[in-house]
Amino acid sequence: MTTTFEVLPRLSPQAEIILNHRYYLKDSNHTVIEDSAGLFERVAKAIAQIDADYYGALPVEVELLTKDFYDMMVQLEFLPNSPTLMNAGTNRGTLSGCFVLPLEDSMEEIMKAASHSAMVQKFGGGTGFALSKIRPKGSPIDTTHGKACGPIEVLKTLSRVSSMITQGGKRDGANMAVMSVYHPDIISFISCKAVEGDIHNFNISVAVDSNFMELVKTNAKFPLVAPNTNEVVGWESATDVFNLIIEGAWRNGEPGMIFLDRINEDNKVTKEFGNMIATNPCGEQPLLGNESCNLGSINLAKFYQEADSADWYNFIDWERLTKTVNLAIHFLDNVIDANKYAVIDIEDMTKATRKIGLGIMGFADLLVQLKVPYNSDRAQSIGGAIMEYIRTAADVASLNLGGQRGPFPAWTRSTHKIHENYRNACRVTVAPTGTISMIAGCASGIEPIFALAWKKQNILEGKTLYYVNSYFEEVAKEQGFYSTELMEALSNGESLQNLQNIPQWVKEVYVTAPEISSEEHVQMQAAFQTWVDSGISKTINLSNDATIEDVFTAYLNAWELGCKGITIYRNGSRTQEVLVNGHKDVALSCECDSSVLIRESGCISCKNCGWSACEIS
């Protein structure tokens, strides 16, 4: 092992494949010259060095901090987003995963946005845009006496730019397009991805507010306002437009929806920079124009401890969790200064607000260790309590840094000052953790377990290899119902709920994402959102036979329960889609040609080699 530290990584074979393919440094001949211990030490040293470079820490202090950063990563208690793991200490590439770029209504600004997005994605970032300021299609252009192409053509142009970019040579571009429901071209936007494969590298979301949602409930009309003139140019039925959104989501998962007024309730301190009108590609990070945010996630599964108690609270190592939150906030704040920014405007804005996004992963793994079903009131209560604790600890850690280093610079321009001088304008985010959760060997984000077993054909050896959720495998063997036939059935898509001779408590605890109702998915998202100052990336998975009414209810519930956005996906709703458990996707394929590709939180990823599309963390 190429490390000076005593603690060495203990990673799964799948994690090693992922790291070897996408993360380890390579020489000019593309030969791997790094291992997992070396990677974690490289990252820890680069981020800890900021304490000396910017804040005058002594060498011994930097050395101790490096060890602390290394230890929490090598023990898989915390991992930063992928760009940080890939690029820290290399003097190339961005360390942030999330960006929102401004998009104004002129040819110069549109092409500037396209150029900046190319530079951001070249170095590993995902970009979000708001189309809301682009004048409607057919509007007159005074300077050329022509007609405007409209926001959909602008979106297609940005998509073509993204198609040219392979991010850092390691992954495809990821993007989000948001349009206000009050824009005159909103109907065209809602349907712009109705044809499968169109604008494939963008997720799309409609931005609404409580006023619109109330009009939906009363079947009233709302105005369409041209952004270039601020004139009302038409009226639409709120219910009809909402139904078009629902029909699109039912048909193929798009568009999603974001609740902009709720998002901007947490934007009070930086109001002088304007409202947030877009998010990053997976929707969890609302940002101002030219802001970026670096993310990192705590693996909750690692903080389970045995206890002789009936109270779940005693099964969490809160002391160690608090230490990890403090270290993670310190780490993420340092990333802002260690970063290499592709565009100076992004550097200026990011350093003005110093937003960070500490989140979690492995929540479903913690629940199965606690023997608590994901789709239960108790699980929602546990999730909310843990997130409240992490949010409070993160706030305190940022306050402490603010006392040592000063508050984020935009604070001085704010007219809405509260008594706390935070180092970071926002602190907490729940990201999808697509690939880093595979490295950590845990469930992604706050998602439930996606599958209990899956299989992969080893063509060279002529064998079928079974991969099983480790917690489920242990329970199955302890309870005496483990068998090859069971694994075969589960890996072929059979539900545990339909099988005989399985203890009822096991069926309840090991419920998988497709077996959880849309109401239960939304309720879990809402339980966490209360304690998250940014957003949450979560997919509301629906069965293929889910109705349009089911989607309608999910979107309405998300608003009523206080979520900041919602994305659903109905299994089997795309011809060229990702199918799990023995089925082969006909359009998307990973590096290892696996039969197990999964769709979670707007991302598509392989459980074996870590290939992913539209995954930024």
Per the DSSP assignment, residues forming a β-bridge with 79 are 297
The DSSP result for 223-290, as a single string, is EEEETTTTEEEEEEEHHHHHHHHHHHHHHHS--EEEEHHHHHTT-GGGGGG----EE-TTSS-EE-TT
Residue pair 580/588 in contact (Cβ under 8 Å)? The answer is: no
Q: What is the per-residue pLDDT for 468? A: 86
CB of 229 closer than 8 Å to CB of 198: no
Distance CA 82, CA 296 (A): 9
At residue 224, the pLDDT reads 98
Of the residues 77, 236, 284, 515, only one is catalytic, namely 284
- The continuous run of DSSP H or E covering 394 comes out as helix 377-405
How many whole angstroms separate alpha carbon 12 and alpha carbon 20? 12
The token duo for 107 is 């040819």
CA distance 152 to 149: 8
pLDDT score, position 78: 98
Annotated catalytic residue, options 282, 590, 609, 614 = 282
Cβ neighbours around 311 below 10 Å, total: 7
Phi-psi domain of 43 (left: phi exceeds 0; alpha: psi -120 through 50; beta: other):
alpha
Specify the pLDDT at position 606: 61
Q: What are phi and psi of 453, to 5 degrees?
A: -155, 145
Residue 541's DSSP bridge partners are 569
What is the reported pLDDT for 616? 47
User: What are the phi and psi torsion angles at 160 (to 5°)?
Assistant: -65, -40
Find where tokens 């909402």 sit.
242
Residue carrying structure tokens 């408590």: 505
Mean pLDDT by 10 residues, the chain (617 residues): 79 90 92 95 98 95 98 98 94 89 95 93 86 95 85 96 68 84 98 89 96 96 97 98 97 95 83 86 93 95 95 97 98 97 94 96 98 98 98 96 93 69 94 92 94 68 70 96 92 92 97 92 97 93 90 96 94 59 41 52 56 51
Angle at 550 between CA 514 and CA 181, to 5 degrees: 115
Residue 513, SS3?
Answer: helix
* pLDDT at position 417: 59
d(CA 258, CA 518): 17
- CB-count exposure of residue 332 (10 Å: 0-12, 13-18, 19+): buried
Cis before 227? omega within 30? no
> How far is 234 from 211, CA to CA, in rounded Å?
17
Q: Active-site residue 264, yes or no?
A: no
Give CA–CA dist 224/237, Å, rounded: 10
Angle between helices 59-74 and 318-338 (to 10 degrees): 120
Of 392, 398, 424, 423, the C-alpha closest to 321 is 392
Candidate list 267, 280, 294, 608, residue with the active-site label:
280
pTM score of the predicted model: 0.92
The first and second tokens of residue 427, run together, are: 């602190």
Amino acid at the residue 492? N
Name the burial class of residue 107, with classes exposed (0-12), middle (13-18) and buried (19+) by CB atoms within 10 angstroms of its CB.
Answer: exposed
282 is catalytic: yes
Domain ranges of the chain: 1-75, 98-279
Note the pLDDT of residue 143: 78
HSE-up (13 A, CA, CB side) for residue 119: 15
